Amino acid sequence: MPKVIIRQTTPPDVDIEINGVNEGSVVSGGAAAINLEDSNGDPVIPESVTVVGDTFTVELPAASTGWVRNPDWLPLPDISATNNKMVCLYLVYESGGNDVRFNCTTNAFQVDWGDGSALETIGVSTHVYDYAAITSPIKVDEYGRNYKQVIIEVTELIVNSIFEFRPANNIITKGYSCGDIRTTMTSLVRLSFSYAPNLEIFEQFGVTQSLNFNSFYQNKLPYLKQFHLNPISSIQNQSSFSQIGEVSNFVYEDNGSTTCNSLLLRARIRRAELKGSLITSASGVINECQLLEEAVIDFPLVQNISNIANNCMRLRKLTFTNCSNITISTGAFDNCSSLEELILTGMTVGFSVRNSRMSSAALLALANSVGPANGSQTVITTGNPDASDPAYIAVFNSKGYTVTT
Amino acid sequence: MFYKQNTDTGEWCFGNEVHFPDGTKLNAENKQSKDGWQWHDEPPQEYLEWLEKQNNEINTEL
């Protein structure tokens, strides 16, 4: 249990009060240990405790997603700087059902199955793992089933091909065999399964083809935690990621699409980093993302951000790297009741941050981030804690904005 | 409270104080009208109708 020690060194014996509440007596020369707990009764470990005069400042750790990768799992090889590879953690169950199938452009890929068998050039191919022959340690999953692990490594021999991955999906293993995936292939990767509870990380770098990620649609991968996709030429199904599983960090770069409306509508993501060099319309992109806490949006050509982030009730920090082309901002930040920081670099039209949580410093940073108003424009800050602070209002006014508080 | 309807989008804005770039400040002590902003002791009917329409659209979507 973490403790803050308060030592009383001068007589007489005294009672200790914390924020006005009597917390008991400390004997002269003795010490009182203060345990910190959160509202759930769980211990809280301070990052630091500083003392100025009689004031103790306890700095608490930043909010955690609570997710850590399964410590039993083999590390996924880092191939982010290597072209034309795919690696996948694959779980081989003692109970059987350990086939993996590929339906690929013939002779375009070579695979190392990770079980000591020979390299194989694949097309429409199936490989059946022999649990007994695999040398990695036996692990036990949450249902008490024994499994061993292999790392499948695929090398792309012909770029821009078709690569379809069909993990075992029989009655025994269902979609459990497929663990994390990392790929740097240029080929279109199709994940031909709709439920893979062990697929928690999907990272794709360097794809040049258009993608249709139906696999991620409508909560088909409910346990996805890390998602990285960049760059790609375009997304074929704009709502592919709608209602995606609980992702702690969603990184997305699209250099082909011009629109991405409602891309992450109601997605259960905690952090988003979105880039799109050609996107002009981004209406509702992170609309109703109820778990979202932070987002960085880099759409330098975007014109329409209507309703882009409304109803993101936990969103604390939102940064736009370039707003200079925005002409429509209707409802962009409505009902962002937790918003503490908003940066709109180069914005020239009005907007509303009504009923958010922005302090004087945050409002000043916001005012400093925007560009000169394009004609008559209004900024609405009603309901923010420091909405009446004249300092940020003066900055907005100097740039031609009317401010409503 | 001051109210203003955006003639381009139809949206309504409102607030207790309005600070203009020319230094003019509208509030309960200065209830003059300026640039479409008007003081109303009660929400204007046009605003209430717009608000009801917005709520109906949201309910329809849900």
Q: Where are the domains of chain B?
A: 2-61
Note whether B35 contacts A402, CB cutoff 8 Å: yes
Write down the domain spans for chain A: 3-59, 76-191
B19–A380 CB contact, under 8 Å = no
Minimal-distance CA residue of chain B relative to A383: B15
Check pLDDT > 60 for residue A22.
yes
Q: Which residue of A lies nearest to B18 if distances are taken between CA atoms?
A: A404
Report the DSSP pairing between strands A21-26 and A14-18: antiparallel
What tens digit of pLDDT does each residue of A53-87 get?
Answer: 777 777 776 655 456 788 899 999 988 778 889 99
Mean confidence (pLDDT) of chain A: 82
Tens-digit pLDDT profile for residues A181-191 = 888 887 766 66
Q: Which of A404, A14, A394, A51 is nearest to B37 (CA)?
A: A404
pLDDT at A356: 95
On the 0-12 / 13-18 / 19+ scale of CB atoms within 10 A, B56 is exposed
Residues present in chain B in total: 62
Is the pLDDT assigned to residue A241 strictly greater than 70?
no
Contacts 24+ apart (CB under 8 A), A111-115: A111/A152, A111/A153, A111/A154, A111/A155, A112/A152, A112/A153, A112/A154, A112/A155, A113/A150, A113/A152, A114/A90, A114/A150, A114/A151, A114/A152, A114/A153, A115/A150
- A402: chain B residues, CB-CB within 8 Å: 18-21, 35
| pLDDT beyond 70 at B35 | yes
Q: Is B20 on the interface with A (CB under 8 A)?
A: yes
Q: What confidence tier does A340 reach under pLDDT thresholds 50, 70, 90?
A: very high
Quote the ipTM score: 0.89
Q: Which of A378, A379, A375 is nearest to A366 (CA)?
A: A379
Stretch A189-208: mean pLDDT: 72
Between chains, do B15 and A405 touch, taking CB under 8 Å as contact?
A: yes
CA–CA separation, A58 and A155 (whole Å): 51
Asked whether the beta carbons of residue B35 and residue A380 sit closer than 8 angstroms, the reply is no
Chain A residues touching B11 at Cβ < 8 A? 330
